[in-house]
Chain A
Amino acid sequence: MSTIVVDIADLAVSADPDATLITYSLGSCIGVAIWDPAVRVGGLLHYMLPDSQLSPEKARSNPAMFCDTGVPQLFRAAYELGAVKNRLVVKIAGGSQLLDEQGTFNIGKRNYLALRKIFWKNGVLIQAENVGGNVSRTLKIEIGTGAVSVRSRQEETPL
Chain B
Amino acid sequence: MTLMLDRIVDRVATLPHLPDTVLRLVSVVSNPDSSVEQIVEAIRYDQSLTAEVLRLCNSAYYGLARTIDSLDAAICLLGTSKVFQLVMAAHARTLLGRPQEGYGLPAGMLWLHSAGVATAARLLARRMRLPQMGLLFTAGLLHDVGKIVLNEFVQAQYLEVVRQVTQEGVSFCEAEQRVLGYTHAEAGARLAERWNLPRAMVRCIGYHHTPADLPQADPLVDAVHLADAVCLLLGIGTGHDGLAYRGSATVLRRCGLTELDLESVGAEAVAELRSVQAMFARK
Contacts and interface: CB of A to CB of B under 8 A. Distances in A.
- Our verdict on whether A and B bind, yes or no, reads yes
A86 interface: no
A51 to B, nearest CB: 9
Interface string A22-39: 001111110000000000
Interface in B163-186: 169, 171
A98 B238 contact: no
Interface in A137-159: 152-154
B259 A104 contact: yes
A136 B234 contact: no
B252 interface: yes
B266 A27 contact: no
A109 to B, nearest CB: 11
Interface in A59-73: 62, 65
A59 to B, nearest CB: 10
Interface size bucket, A side? 20 to 34
A113 to B, nearest CB: 14
A27 B240 contact: no
A65 B269 CA distance: 12
Nearest to A49: B263
Interface in A101-146: 102, 104-108, 134-136
Interface string B236-251: 1111101111111100
A27 B266 CA distance: 13
B270 A9 contact: yes
Contacts of B229: 98, 105
Contact of B267 (A48, A99, A102): A48
Contact of A25 (B236, B244, B248): B236
Summarize A's interface: helix, strand, loop or mixed. Answer: loop
B185 to A, nearest CB: 15
A134 to B, nearest CB: 4
B264 A153 contact: no
B136 to A, nearest CB: 20
Interface size bucket, B side? 20 to 34
B104 interface: yes
Contacts of A8: 234-236, 270
A55 B233 contact: no
A99 B171 contact: yes
A104 B253 CA distance: 10
A29 B247 contact: no
Contacts of A106: 259
B240 A154 contact: yes
Interface in B93-131: 104
B262 interface: yes
B1 interface: no
B244 to A, nearest CB: 5
Nearest to A99: B246
Contacts of B248: 100
A28 B234 CA distance: 6
A97 interface: yes
B273 to A, nearest CB: 9
A1 interface: no
A98 B271 contact: no
21 contacts: A25-B236, A25-B237, A27-B238, A27-B242, A28-B235, A28-B243, A48-B270, A54-B260, A54-B267, A58-B267, A96-B243, A99-B245, A105-B247, A105-B252, A107-B262, A107-B263, A108-B233, A134-B244, A136-B240, A153-B162, A153-B240
